[in-house]
Every structure is written in structure tokens, then in C-alpha cells.
């Protein structure tokens, strides 16, 4: 089946129709999936195997046949473990068709076809009985249906159904139990992902303060989970206000209820401070005794054990609805509410001489609704974007640059999504009209937020005009027949996934050319694409073949991922927030392409070729690419590399942006460097399609 999907090209802004077959979707799903990462997760695999062996033995010791139900079998790994451990039969359920096919192949290649039946269904569709998918109910339930939030992939309703219809009462479950842990912290850095901090601007006529609207103060934000590699957050970036507390557990061997509920624990802060964030992670016990434990605890909780790196399970950051000052030793209640798929938190203070009635009242308070953004800012700005807007250093660079280019009679036009630049420009420039085009290509609520909430709170409603038009539809009447003397952009667009998608600014600039004064100043003046060859500490795993996993041949999975990555021939760069994924530079960072915003987008392609010298020993896993913007003569901002410590090549990345990673098809091992090896590259920016094609060779 083929369908045509219309979308605005993220770089050029023009509408295009893409032919998307079913194939495309599933290739994307496989290529970007976490299957490889799971298979590389040694700690997980070993513990599952131990847990499965123990469960099979317990059943056998009771003199029963071991019948396994493996829900979400993926490659068939856990069923093969069970079969090797002596299980009599395994029903391996997998809803995703390409994976179910792969499982059949892998099971066969490993010689388990007579012991494992792969069923391509959602578990809730599976039937039991003489003519059913399963002959009888299973007495061992094996699953791995967890995400970073534990329940986000629907583990609870799946377990609830399985206990009702697919497994025997008193069955063994691997994992046996999951426990969710929390810790209350204060962190300006993480809080800056949810709140807009006041912006101070030193203007000619005194200091101006851009204030967040009151609607934002108590806004609970959005319900989507914030999952990060918490192990990359230095301890100096947060302060723990409580000990680690057990929030709730789920026993998977008993009937599970998925209906919404809440859990409440009492806490006493170990330190006074501002309660802002709840950090959370979970662990799973593979057996009832808790001897086989697989934990996501971050480094400061389990400092002695070697941490297993994994990307499929990380840690969660929950934002309290509002900041709450807490005092060491005072009595607090932390409440976790959950529905079938997500969790959210609130904090209550216990009052003096609390009695039973009060406690009931607290419980009522505790049942807060799932967070829904009321101020609209959280729909307009995602968490990294909040962080970026709150980055004072960055704001300072823009202020310095604006100061250089603005004149008392400047007519200014801003092209960027949800940007504070028009306000900065207004404060810094003459009291002339400022214009602001919102190019949010479908984000109408952004417009409502700016015009009805944000500008109002700062008394700017009649100072900054919002033009609701696409750049190519801009008319002189929008500009009151004036020419634009200063065109500004961060540039930032919500539709950008890869760094160069923000080149949309260049296309928009080209579209509004007829409205620009002949001596127009464009800020940024130019952008440049930078590149560096790196060795990843861990990220390489997500694209690296597994071969075998705990003795099972899973090469069919590797081949399938490879096919999907090569689907449509062109290998693509993928976006990753590299502050979460440490790497070491193996080459000098180098500028590969520049884009001159003072001119319009040229008709011809921009291309470049060259070579990169590898200066350090290491494995060249791929190239990282990012954009830098030249704001004014001597001021530039980087969306990628911020600092490079030269001896070891450790990199510090912009914490608010994703960088582009191009994984090399084979790892180049420059273990011993006598002569610097060179990697050659060819990079081409097609100005028609806005795409960047690249090729690397050793
Ligand atoms: N068990 C494998 C793969 C785990 S990934 C391993 O441990 O390596 C989880 C898999 O479960 C995915 O392939 C997903 O498609 C599948 N899945 C999730 N919920 C399911 C359900 N209710 N029924 C069937 N498959 C499900």
C-alpha cells in the first residue's frame, strides 16, 4: 500500500508530497528501534536468564510441566532462554509483524522450533483452548514490556489481561516485581526546563525585566515523561533534599490492576531548600527473594557497582506543579498518581497535630488531575527549548549583537518560532515599530500565548505586532509600507529535527527579500556547518550488530536492522542530544560549509570535499555535525561543541540542542596511530530539497 503524505519541508518550508509505503514506517521503526540496545544490555540479559532458570526450576520442583508465556518476545530471546533452561513449551507473543517474523527465523536458526511457538498478535487477542493459540494457560509469565517510566509501554493493562485470561493462578513471573524509587531535589538547571526565568535587559533608559506571565506560575506543564541519562548530570547541578524513598511496587506474579490510582509516602527533608523536582527510577527483581536485581539507580545511589550503560531504560525527571520551600526535618507527603500509562507527582505539607480527618482531606488533595498545560507555554516550548531560553549566556550574546545592529529608527522583523528576540529588540531599539512574524507552521496556540498571555504580562500588546502570515505571503501592508532595516532570527523552528533544518531562516529571508531595505542588516549574518569525527563512550551500541546474545544467535536481527538502515539507499544522520552521550573527539572540529544570510539562497547546490586527520587513538564511530551562527562581527553561538579539552579530546556539547550523528557503516579502528590517518568526506547541501547528503571514506 502506498500513501502520499503532505508536509512542509523542514528546511525549505515548501509543501511537498512524499510517497510513504507501509514499508517506510516499519523500516523507520526497526532502524531507530532499541532492540540492538536491549541485546547489548548484558546486565539485563544475564539477570533475565538467571531469573528464568530459577522460575523454571521452581516449577519443575513442584513436579509440573513448565509452560511459558513470553509477552513481547521481540527477537525471541527470553523464550529461547526459557527453552534452554528446560521449559517444556513457550508461547512467544509479538504484536509487531516484522519482529514476529524475525523471531520465527531466529528461533528456527537456534533449533528451538519445536519448543517455541511464535504468535503474531497483541497479547489481548490471544486465545486459550484446544483450538486456541495456546493449548492451556501458562504457569510462567515472562515479559519485558517496560520503558523508562516503567508503565509507559502499557505493561499494566497487558499484565492485568494476562492474569485474567492467559496464565494460571499462582504462576511464576519473571520479573517477579518492580519497584519505583524517588528522590526530591532542587535543581536550577532542571527547573529551567519547565519555568521561564525573568530576563534582565540593560536598556538605554534603564533595566528592563521580561517577566513570565502569572498563568505560567502554577501551570503543571505537560504530562509527557522527561527521560534522561541522569548519570550525565553532574552532582553540582542539583541538590538532594530527601533520601531515596520507595514510592510503589508491583508484584507481577499476582493479578495486576491497571486502573488509575495513587500512592503516598511520608518524607522528611534532609536539607532545607526549594523542592522542585522528583527524580525517579525503578528496579526489577527477577525472583521472589530479590537476589537477582536489575536496577536503574543513578551513580550517586549505587556508587560502587559498575553501571551498565543502556538507552532503552534511563531515569525520569518529574516537575512538581510549583516550587515549594521545604525545611529540614519537616513532615511532607509525596504523592504519585498514575493512570494506565503515566505517572505524575505532587507534594503536600503535613499540618501541625494532624488527625485522621486531615489525612483524608490530604488524600483528596492528592488525587490531582494529570498535568495539562493551561498557560500554553508548555505546548509552544518543549523542555530543551525552555532551557535554551533560560540560558543567560546565550541571551547575553543576542543582546550584545542586537545592541550593535539596532538604530533608533530600525524597523525590525523577527523570523523564529516562539522567540524572545522581538522583545529584546524592542527593549534595546528605538521606540519604533517592531514586527514579528510567527512562522509556527501549525502552532496556533503559540500565537495565542504570545498575544494574549506573554505580551499582556509585559505590557507589550501594542508594541510588538504579530504578523500571521507565511514569509512568502508577507505584504507591504503588513509592514505599513515600511522596509525592514533589521532582520533577526535565532534561528529556531519547532519543526527542525536536524541542526541544518533551522536553515529555514535563510529560505524565509529569501522569501521576504522584496521587503528588505537595500542596506538591511541580517542577524545572524551567516551560519556554518561544523564536523568532527568521534569515538562514543557508549552510544555506538545502538547501531552496532550483536551477533550472539547470551549464546543465542541473533544475527537475523542485525541483518534486519541493517536492511532497514539502508532502505532508500541513503544513510541519514540522526539527531542526538550529545550532552547525554559522552564522546571523545578524534579529529579537530572543522567548518565544512557556510551559508551567507546576507544573500538569498542560491539556485546551485553547495558542496564540499576534503579530509579529516585523525589525531587521537580510538575507534571512529562516526561524525558529529552541528551549526554555528555568526550573529554579528565578533559574536557567534554554537548549537554543538561548546568546549574541547585538548589532551583527552573530551567534548562539552550545547545542553539545549540535538546534534546530528552520522554513524560510519564500519568502525574505523585507529588503535595505534603512527601516521595520522585521514577520513575523506563529501558533503552536499541541495538548495532545492534542503537536504544534506554525506559520504565518508577511510
Ligand atoms: N522480549 C524481547 C523484546 C522486548 S521489547 C527482549 O527482551 O529482548 C518489547 C516487545 O514487546 C516489542 O517488540 C513490542 O512490539 C512487544 N509488545 C509490547 N506489548 C505487547 C503486547 N501486549 N502483546 C504483544 N507484543 C507486545
Q: 158-182, pLDDT tens digit by residue?
A: 999 999 999 999 999 999 999 999 9
pLDDT band at 50 (very low <50, low <70, confident <90, very high): very high
- Beta-strand ranges (E) seen in 366-455 are 412-415, 434-437
Give the residue-averaged pLDDT of 485-509.
94
Q: Over 60: is that where the pLDDT of 366 sits? A: no
- Beta-strand ranges (E) seen in 514-601 are 516-523, 526-536, 548-549, 552-553, 574-576, 583-585, 590-596
Q: Over 70: is that where the pLDDT of 592 sits? A: yes
% of the chain surpassing 70 pLDDT: 91
Q: Which residues pair with 266 in a beta bridge?
A: 333
Give the residue-averaged pLDDT of 456-484.
88
Between 438 and 631, the higher pLDDT residue = 631
Q: Over 80: is that where the pLDDT of 620 sits? A: yes
74 lines ligand 1 (CB under 6 A): yes
Determine the Cα–Cα distance for residues 200 and 208; give it in Å rounded to an integer: 6
From the CA of 130, how far away is ligand 1's center (Å)? 25
Query: DSSP class of residue 452?
Result: I
* pLDDT attached to residue 307: 85
Q: How many C-beta atoms lie closer than 10 Å to residue 88's C-beta?
A: 16
Give, using CA atoms, the residue closest to atom 9 of ligand 1.
Answer: 72
Q: What's the grid cell of residue 9?
A: 519541508
Q: Over 60: is that where the pLDDT of 672 sits? A: no
120 lines ligand 1 (CB under 6 A): no
From the CA of 74, how far away is ligand 1's center (Å)? 5
In sequence order, the 6+-apart residues with CB closer than 8 A to the CB of 670 are 586, 614, 616, 617, 618, 619, 620, 677
From the CA of 37, how far away is ligand 1's center (Å)? 14
122 lines ligand 1 (CB under 6 A): yes
* pLDDT attached to residue 2: 55
Q: Transcribe 212-225 into DSSP letters.
A: PPHHHHT-----S-
Yes or no: say if 179 and 244 are a contact pair by the CB < 8 Å rule: no
Domains within the chain, CATH numbers bracketed: 3-32 (no CATH), 34-144 (3.40.50.150), 178-375 (2.70.160.11), 380-521 (3.40.50.150), 526-697 (2.70.160.11)
Determine the Cα–Cα distance for residues 427 and 201; give it in Å rounded to an integer: 7
Q: Which atom of ligand 1 is nearest to the CA of 72?
A: 11
Mind telling me the catalytic residues?
144, 153
Q: What's the grid cell of residue 362?
A: 490530604
Amino acid at each position: 500500500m502506498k500513501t502520499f503524505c503532505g508536509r512542509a519541508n523542514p528546511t525549505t518550508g515548501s509543501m511537498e508530497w512524499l510517497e510513504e509505503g507501509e514499508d517506510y514506517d516499519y523500516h523507520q521503526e526497526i532502524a531507530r528501534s532499541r532492540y540492538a540496545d536491549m541485546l547489548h544490555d548484558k546486565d539485563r540479559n544475564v539477570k533475565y536468564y538467571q531469573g528464568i532458570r530459577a522460575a523454571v526450576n521452581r516449577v519443575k520442583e513442584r513436579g509440573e510441566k513448565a509452560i511459558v508465556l513470553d509477552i513481547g518476545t521481540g527477537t525471541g530471546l527470553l523464550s529461547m532462554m526459557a527453552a534452554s533452561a528446560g521449559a517444556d513449551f513457550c508461547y512467544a507473543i509479538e504484536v509487531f509483524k516484522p519482529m514476529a517474523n524475525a523471531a520465527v527465523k531466529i528461533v528456527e536458526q537456534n533449533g528451538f522450533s519445536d519448543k517455541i511457538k511464535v504468535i503474531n498478535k497483541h497479547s489481548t487477542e490471544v486465545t486459550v483452548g484446544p483450538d486456541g493459540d495456546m493449548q492451556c494457560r501458562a504457569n510462567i509469565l515472562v515479559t519485558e514490556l517496560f520503558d523508562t517510566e516503567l508503565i509507559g509501554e502499557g505493561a499494566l493493562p497487558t499484565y492485568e489481561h494476562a492474569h485474567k485470561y492467559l496464565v494460571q493462578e499462582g504462576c511464576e513471573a519473571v520479573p517477579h516485581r518492580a519497584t519505583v524509587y524517588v528522590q526530591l531535589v532542587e535543581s536550577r538547571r532542571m527547573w529551567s526546563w519547565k519555568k521561564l526565568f525573568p530576563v534582565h535587559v540593560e536598556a538605554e533608559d534603564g533595566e528592563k525585566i521580561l517577566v513570565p506571565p502569572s498563568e505560567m506560575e502554577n501551570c503543571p506543564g505537560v504530562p509527557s515523561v522527561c527521560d534522561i541519562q541522569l548519570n550525565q548530570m553532574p552532582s553540582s547541578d542539583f541538590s538532594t533534599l530527601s533520601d531515596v524513598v520507595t514510592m510503589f511496587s508491583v508484584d507481577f506474579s499476582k493479578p495486576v490492576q491497571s486502573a488509575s490510582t495513587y500512592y503516598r509516602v511520608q518524607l522528611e527533608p534532609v536539607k532545607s531548600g526549594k523542592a522542585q523536582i522528583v527524580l525517579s527510577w525503578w528496579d526489577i527483581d527477577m525472583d521472589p527473594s530479590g537476589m537477582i536485581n536489575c536496577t536503574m539507580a543513578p551513580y550517586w545511589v549505587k556508587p560502587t557497582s559498575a553501571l551498565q550503560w543502556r538507552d532503552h531504560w534511563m531515569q525520569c525527571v518529574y516537575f512538581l506543579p510549583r516550587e515549594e520551600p521545604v525545611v529540614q526535618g519537616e513532615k511532607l507527603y509525596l504523592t504519585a498518581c498514575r493512570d494506565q500509562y503515566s505517572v505524575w507527582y505532587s507534594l503536600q505539607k503535613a499540618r501541625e497535630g494532624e488527625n485522621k480527618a486531615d489525612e483524608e482531606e490530604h488524600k483528596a488533595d492528592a488525587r490531582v488531575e494529570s498535568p495539562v498545560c493551561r498557560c500554553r507555554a508548555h505546548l509552544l516550548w518543549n523542555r530543551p527549548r525552555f532551557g535554551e531560553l533560560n540560558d543567560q549566556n546565550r541571551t547575553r550574546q543576542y543582546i550584545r549583537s542586537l545592541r550593535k545592529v539596532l538604530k533608533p529608527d530600525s524597523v525590525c522583523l523577527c523570523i523564529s518560532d516562539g522567540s524572545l528576540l522581538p522583545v529584546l529588540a524592542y527593549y534595546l531599539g528605538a521606540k519604533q515599530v517592531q514586527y514579528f512574524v510567527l512562522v509556527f507552521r501549525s502552532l496556533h496556540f503559540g500565537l495565542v500565548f504570545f498575544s494574549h498571555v506573554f505580551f499582556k504580562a509585559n505590557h507589550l500588546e501594542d508594541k510588538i505586532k504579530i504578523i500571521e502570515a507565511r514569509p512568502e505571503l508577507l505584504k507591504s501592508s503588513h509592514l505599513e509600507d515600511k522596509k525592514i532595516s533589521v532582520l533577526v532570527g535565532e534561528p529556531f523552528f519547532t519543526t527542525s529535527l536536524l541542526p541544518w533544518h533551522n536553515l529555514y531562516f535563510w529560505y524565509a529571508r529569501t522569501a521576504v527579500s522584496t521587503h528588505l531595505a537595500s542596506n538591511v542588516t541580517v542577524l545572524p549574518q551567516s551560519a556554518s556547518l561544523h564536523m568532527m569525527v568521534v569515538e562514543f563512550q557508549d552510544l555506538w551500541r545502538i547501531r552496532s550488530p550483536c551477533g550472539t546474545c547470551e549464546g543465542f544467535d541473533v544475527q537475523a536481527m542485525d541483518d534486519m536492522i541493517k536492511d532497514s538502515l539502508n532502505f532508500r539507499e541513503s544513510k541519514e544522520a540522526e539527531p542526538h542530544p550529545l550532552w547525554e552521550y559522552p564522546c571523545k573527539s578524534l579529529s579537530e572540529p572543522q567548518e565544512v560549509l557556510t551559508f551567507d544570510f546576507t544573500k538569498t539562497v542560491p539556485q546551485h547546490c553547495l558542496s564540499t570535499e576534503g579530509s579529516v586527520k585523525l589525531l587521537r587513538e580510538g575507534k571512529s564511530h562516526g561524525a558529529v555535525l552541528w551549526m554555528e551562527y555568526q550573529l554579528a562581527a565578533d559574536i557567534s553561538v554554537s548549537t554543538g561543541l561548546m568546549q574541547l579539552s585538548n589532551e583527552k579530546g573530551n567534548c562539552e556539547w550545547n545542553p539545549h540542542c540535538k546534534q546530528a550523528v552520522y554513524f560510519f557503516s564500519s568502525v574505523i579502528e585507529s588503535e595505534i596511530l603512527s601516521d595520522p590517518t585521514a577520513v575523506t568526506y563529501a558533503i552536499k547541501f541541495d538548495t532545492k530539497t534542503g537536504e544534506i547528503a554525506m559520504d565518508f571514506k577511510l
